[in-house]
Amino acid sequence: MNMHPHATRTLEPILGLVRLPHADGLDLPAYETEGAAGMDLRAAVPEDRPLMLMPGKRALVPTGLVMEIPQGYEAQIRPRSGLALKHGITCLNTPGTIDSDYRGEVKVLLINLGEEEFLIERGMRIAQMVIAPVTQVRVVEVRQASETERGSGGFGSTGV
Ligand SMILES: O=c1ccn([C@H]2C[C@H](O)[C@@H](COP(=O)(O)OP(=O)(O)OP(=O)(O)O)O2)c(=O)[nH]1
Ligand SMILES: [Mg+2]
């Protein structure tokens, strides 16, 4: 077969990105390394109006991006470990769920769990996004759940 070596890459799912005006000039999300699971998201706050996040406070940070996530996938918005370790900055609703049919601007809900105020500046990489497959099930109401070895045991029932 006379196949181009990269031919299979055309089977990759495609993430469509619309850049809103306030994301002008910002780098689009991209995999930073070959094996990266996530793509970093950048804060699309105005250059002259960075966002000051006080300790204990939360903020919805714009990314300036509208996404067209391929059907059968979701985007998960997750914290960056460096921000969490150094500054106590994390995503409040982690992992944030972006539905494939959502056509609004993707925003990142950050919370400052550190002791210091934290300045979110334009273009700062504030979170990361993982595209993951999703299974939609058919829901069927049943009279009784089937019996299993575990049964109703949970929350440490198997010991430490
Ligand atoms: O961190 C997030 C989480 C959600 N969203 C957007 C995309 C997602 O598709 C939509 C709804 O999110 P979710 O279902 O988590 O919120 P909800 O409180 O259930 O709102 P809704 O009633 O709109 O589903 O909000 C974001 O931009 N960032
Ligand atoms: Mg919802």
Report ipTM for this prediction: 0.98
Report how far ligand 1's centroid is from the alpha carbon of 106 (Å): 9
Say what the pTM is.
Answer: 0.92
CA dihedral 36, 41, 42, 45 (to 10 degrees): -170
Report how far ligand 2's centroid is from the alpha carbon of 160 (Å): 35
2 a known binding residue?
A: no
d(CA 28, CA 32) in angstroms, rounded, equals: 11
- pLDDT given at position 57: 98
82 a known binding residue?
A: yes
Query: pLDDT per residue over 12-53, tens digit each?
Result: 999 999 999 999 999 999 999 999 999 999 999 999 999 999
To test ligand 1's pocket by mutation, which of 65, 90, 102 has the most ligand atoms within 8 angstroms of CB? 102
